[in-house]
């Protein structure tokens, strides 16, 4: 190792331990927890909650609770103003002044992005950014394959060091593997490895790019102070609450189905079974268990008779009881919470029987928040792509030795205008009614629904009329085939038999 666990500074006045400890904080834990929920690792996170001494369920395994979960995080995030799920942006490089397009640089940019499957990367990056509010793209150069390499950085695997005076990043440390870390400054790239009993620098070299090759993107707003926009933890907390509710509800249903025997008598022993008092839900209840561990089944199960000894009991009684738990009101409360929290993320949750939008105006009103969110995120992504271009240009020009991307140029990203998630059947019904009542024409329908010009809509309308005329002529020229007459002298039963 080049360094050790002593107090000698490694970079920017920080020791190796201090740099690694930057990633071991509550915010990093919250970010990784959110990504675990998004990626479907619900069970492991729910078990952590069940084992929590303050919020969990004591002896939940012994009591028969089974972890049940639902991925609300993924459902809400994927409906919450994502941009890459429909179509990637159109990327174009303009020379200084934003007047002339640099055709050569634009073609090279799109070619290199195609090689690294940028669309798939963009979908994952867009989702992580929406969930965590701040994310970065780390750019490096693969000399063997001759293309860029992208990595997603976020609060869970990265920390940025800010100059207290200029408030600009001067360093960055990120986790590359479980026990491996990389530190970037404008001058150096330093690798740190954490062993079982050691921590130190395993490699350091000059920074080939002269910059920290990362570009930051923000979800809907830039931070008021500092580098990070703080994560909104409400969605993950909701998912955790719903998972606990589902787990508890299944347990309650189980006890409602299975009645409990209450009696002041003791079961009579017959040599084949053994009586014991077991504590169930903190209450001592009698039960019959097999005497031998090899004995199959329980003697007090369905179809079995249990002999009770009433000797010495003045008023013997036997009754079966189960808790009367009405889960419907509880579920309705949780459902209302889900819709409320989803509304905070500009997502409208539909449930059975709630109904759907019956007009274009109603649909616009219901989805306006989501449309506004997507427009806002488009503006933020456009700014992020401008920062990304400076990194892409520096990395490529340094690695290739050719200034193919002018440093003073700008990358312009243009997203398609957001559209409403239209119910096709409802839309067609509404337009048919408008046309029938004379409040719109077929040309209006083509122009609005297909987003074409008035002239194009008129041409399409004339094409439809022409095809309708041809279809009518074709139908009139086809002579129907008359069925052969049935001979009245022929016995129908004989014909059927033949």
pLDDT digits (tens, 9 = 90+) for 296-340: 434 455 555 667 788 888 888 888 777 777 888 888 888 888 888
pLDDT average, residue stretch 275-297: 50
* CB proximity list for 491: less than 8 A, separation 6 or greater: none
> If DSSP states are collapsed to H, E and C, what string results for the chain?
CCCCCCCCCCECCECHHHHHHCCCCHHHHHHHHHHHHHCCCHHHHHHHHHHCCCCCCCCHHHHCCCCCCCCHHHHHHHCCCCCCCCCCCEEEEECCCCCCECHHHHHHHHHHHHHCCHHHHHHHHHHHHHHHCEEEEEEEEECCCCEEEEEEECCCCEEEEECCCCCCEEEEEEEEECCEEEEEECCEEEEEEECCCCEEEEEEEECCCCCCCEEEEECCCCCCCCCCCCCCCHHHHHHHHHHHHHHHHHHHHHHHHCCEEEECCEECCCCCEEEEEEEECCEEEEEEEECCCCCCCCCCCCCCCCCEECCCCCCCCEEEECCCCCHHHHHHHHHHHHHHHHHHCCCCCCCCCCCCCCCHHHHHHHHHHHHHHHHHHHHHHHHHHHHHHHHHHHHHHHHHCCCCCCCCCEEEEECCCCCCCCCHHHHHHHHHHHHHCCCCCHHHHHHHHCCCCHHHHHHHHHHHHHHHHHHHHHHHCCCCCCCCCCCCCCCHHHHHHC
Instruction: Say if residue 173's pLDDT is above 90.
Output: yes
- pLDDT-derived band at 263 (thresholds 50, 70, 90) equals confident
Instruction: Say if residue 224's pLDDT is above 70.
Output: yes
Pairwise pLDDT comparison (484 vs 278), residue with the higher score: 484
Distances (CA, A) of 285 to 43, 269, 293, 306, 335: 31, 17, 21, 15, 36
Q: What's residue 496's pLDDT?
A: 44
pLDDT average, residue stretch 402-423: 83
Q: What's residue 286's pLDDT?
A: 52
Distances (CA, A) of 117 to 87, 158, 217, 441: 14, 24, 19, 44
pLDDT digits (tens, 9 = 90+) for 430-439: 888 989 999 9
pLDDT average, residue stretch 154-168: 93
pLDDT digits (tens, 9 = 90+) for 376-390: 999 999 999 999 999
* CB proximity list for 181: less than 8 A, separation 6 or greater: 19, 20, 23, 173, 174, 175, 191, 192, 193, 194
| Range name among 31-35, 71-75, 321-325, 457-461 with the lowest pLDDT average | 321-325
Do residues 49 and 381 make contact, with C-beta atoms less than 8 angstroms apart?
A: no
- pLDDT-derived band at 360 (thresholds 50, 70, 90) equals very low
pLDDT digits (tens, 9 = 90+) for 60-72: 998 889 999 999 9
Q: What's residue 358's pLDDT?
A: 41
Q: Across the strands, what pairs with 138?
A: 151, 214
Instruction: Say if residue 255's pLDDT is above 70.
Output: yes
């Amino acid at each position: 190792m080049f360094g050790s666990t002593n107090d000698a500074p490694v970079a920017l006045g920080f020791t190796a331990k201090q740099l690694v400890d930057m990633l071991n904080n509550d915010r990093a834990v919250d970010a990784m927890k959110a990504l675990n929920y998004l990626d479907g690792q619900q069970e492991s996170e729910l078990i952590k909650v069940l084992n929590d001494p303050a919020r969990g369920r004591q002896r939940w395994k012994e009591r028969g609770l089974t972890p049940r979960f639902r991925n609300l995080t993924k459902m809400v995030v994927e409906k919450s103003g994502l941009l890459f799920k429909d179509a990637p942006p159109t990327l174009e490089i303009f020379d200084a002044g934003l007047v002339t397009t640099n055709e050569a640089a634009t073609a090279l940019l799109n070619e290199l992005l195609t090689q690294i499957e940028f669309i798939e990367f963009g979908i994952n990056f867009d989702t992580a950014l929406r969930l965590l509010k701040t994310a970065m793209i780390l750019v490096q150069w693969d000399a063997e394959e001759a293309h860029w390499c992208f990595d997603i950085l976020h609060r869970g695997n990265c920390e940025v060091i800010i100059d207290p005076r200029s408030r600009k990043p001067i360093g960055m440390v990120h986790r590359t593997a479980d026990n491996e870390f990389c530190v970037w400054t404008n001058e150096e790239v330093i690798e740190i490895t954490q062993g079982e009993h050691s921590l130190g620098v395993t490699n350091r070299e000059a920074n080939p790019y002269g910059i920290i090759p990362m570009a930051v993107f923000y979800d809907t707003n830039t931070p008021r102070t500092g580098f990070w926009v703080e994560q909104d933890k409400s969605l993950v907390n909701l998912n955790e609450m719903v998972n606990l509710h589902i787990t508890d509800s299944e347990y309650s249903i189980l006890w409602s189905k299975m009645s409990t025997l209450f009696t002041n008598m003791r079961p009579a022993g017959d040599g084949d079974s053994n009586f014991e008092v077991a504590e169930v839900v903190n209450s001592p209840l009698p039960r019959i268990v097999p005497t031998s561990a090899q004995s199959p089944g329980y003697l007090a199960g369905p179809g079995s008779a249990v002999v009770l000894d009433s000797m010495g009991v003045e008023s013997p009684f036997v009754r079966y009881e189960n808790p009367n738990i009405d889960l419907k009101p509880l579920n309705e409360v949780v459902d209302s919470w889900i819709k409320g929290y989803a509304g905070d993320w500009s997502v409208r949750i539909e449930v059975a029987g709630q109904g759907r939008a019956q007009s274009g105006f109603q649909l616009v009103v219901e989805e306006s928040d989501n449309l506004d969110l997507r427009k806002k995120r488009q503006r933020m992504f456009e700014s992020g792509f401008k920062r990304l271009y400076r990194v892409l240009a520096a990395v490529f020009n340094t690695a290739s030795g050719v200034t193919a991307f002018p440093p003073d140029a700008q990358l312009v990203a243009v997203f398609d205008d957001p559209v409403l998630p239209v119910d096709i059947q409802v839309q067609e019904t509404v337009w048919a009614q408008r046309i029938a009542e004379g409040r719109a024409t077929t040309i209006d329908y083509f122009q609005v629904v297909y987003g074409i010009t008035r002239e194009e809509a008129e041409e399409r309308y004339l094409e439809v009329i022409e095809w309708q005329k041809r279809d009518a002529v074709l139908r009139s020229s086809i002579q129907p085939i008359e069925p052969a007459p049935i001979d009245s002298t022929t016995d129908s039963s004989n014909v059927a038999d033949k």
